[in-house]
Amino acid sequence: MSEAEPVPVPEALNATDSNGTEALNATAKFVATPEGTALAYGSLVLMALLPIFFGALRSVSCSKSKNSSDAPETITSRDAARFPIIASCTLFGLYLFFKVFSQEYINLLLSVYFFVLGVLALSHTMSPLMTRIFPASFPNKQYQLLFTQGSGESKEDIINYEFDTKTLVCLLISSVVGVWYLLKKHWIANNLFGLAFALNGVELLHLNNVSTGCILLGGLFVYDVFWVFGTNVMVTVAKSFEAPIKLVFPQDLLEKGLEASNFAMLGLGDIVIPGIFIALLLRFDVSLKKNSRTYFYSSFLAYIFGLGLTIFVMHTFKHAQPALLYLVPACIGFPVLVALFKGELTEMFRYEEASEEAESKEDSESEKKDQ
């Protein structure tokens, strides 16, 4: 989901009678204080920045990793051009599902699905931290989960997952969070999973060059504007979809504490999509070998500016805003202006990241030459 919007209390979502007056009255019961609103929006901005910053840093080491489980997924220009179309079909399909089928059963199915994904994502996020916490004397045993098809020379690996004791500890902690989310749907559990999804997305989804990033961001710019301003589809799905695909923070936290229920929200798409572009610019900075992070910091500051502008416009006009409308021009425009000023625009657009297949091909060719 790609819009930032205050979310009404749950009672308002369910109280839709024939004339709609109950829903209107339920929504009007709570008016956020300036302090509560500032706390909610400030927290959303901070939560959006964390996965972008740390995900971008981890993407640098991820691109150099030889471990297949940490191998990034490379997005090509063809993938980028298709993505807005696929996203639109998925979004409209979900909208129709919520119109035709019971929202309760759909969300139950989605909860189980995102429980599994969330546990794996949170475990992967925690793994580097656990490596530092555990002492060197910790008995870290190695395990392998292997599932094959066929026999003899035709045997093919379906699942080949290598892990260790530290990974099992991470999975156990993540499972506790997952059960908490399944049973309570608490906003903190939702945010833990959401942050893990966002960080993993920024870390493991790699654009192969800046042009691909411009195609992806440009296409999703149109997608976001159309589905938020042109229809009610995006907002309807975002409110109906009970899954950790958005970060939320209560505007009534100061009044109701952890049981607060009037949320402001930010879709993970507004974090991951600009985030993978910012991570690409960090890897470009590293490739320049100038001990400088100019493009990373300029794009990171551009993201803060764009997100702040989104919140300002949304708060001023009291209407859901397509965040990419403000984020895309900022995240592309700022680094391009910096590159023009430094005379490195051509070099920036020529920067290319090899895909995993291309790298393995190069490695095999170099091995043959050595032999």
Catalytic residues: 224, 270
> What's the N-to-C CA distance of the chain in angstroms?
52
Say if residue 219 is exposed, middle or buried (CB neighbours under 10 Å; 0-12, 13-18, 19+): buried
Distance CA 275, CA 273 (A): 5
8 A C-beta contact, residue 235 and residue 3: yes
Query: C-alpha angle with apex 278: 275 to 282, nearest 5 degrees?
Result: 135
Which H or E run contains 143? strand 142-149
Tell me which long-range contacts 102-110 makes (C-beta under 8 A, separation of at least 24). 103/240, 107/240, 107/241, 107/242, 107/243, 110/241, 110/242, 110/243
Residue closest to 191 by CA, chosen among 51, 346, 2: 51
Distance CA 69, CA 47 (A): 26
Single-letter amino acid code for the residue at 37 = T
Q: Is 286 left (phi over 0), alpha (psi -120 to 50) or beta?
A: alpha
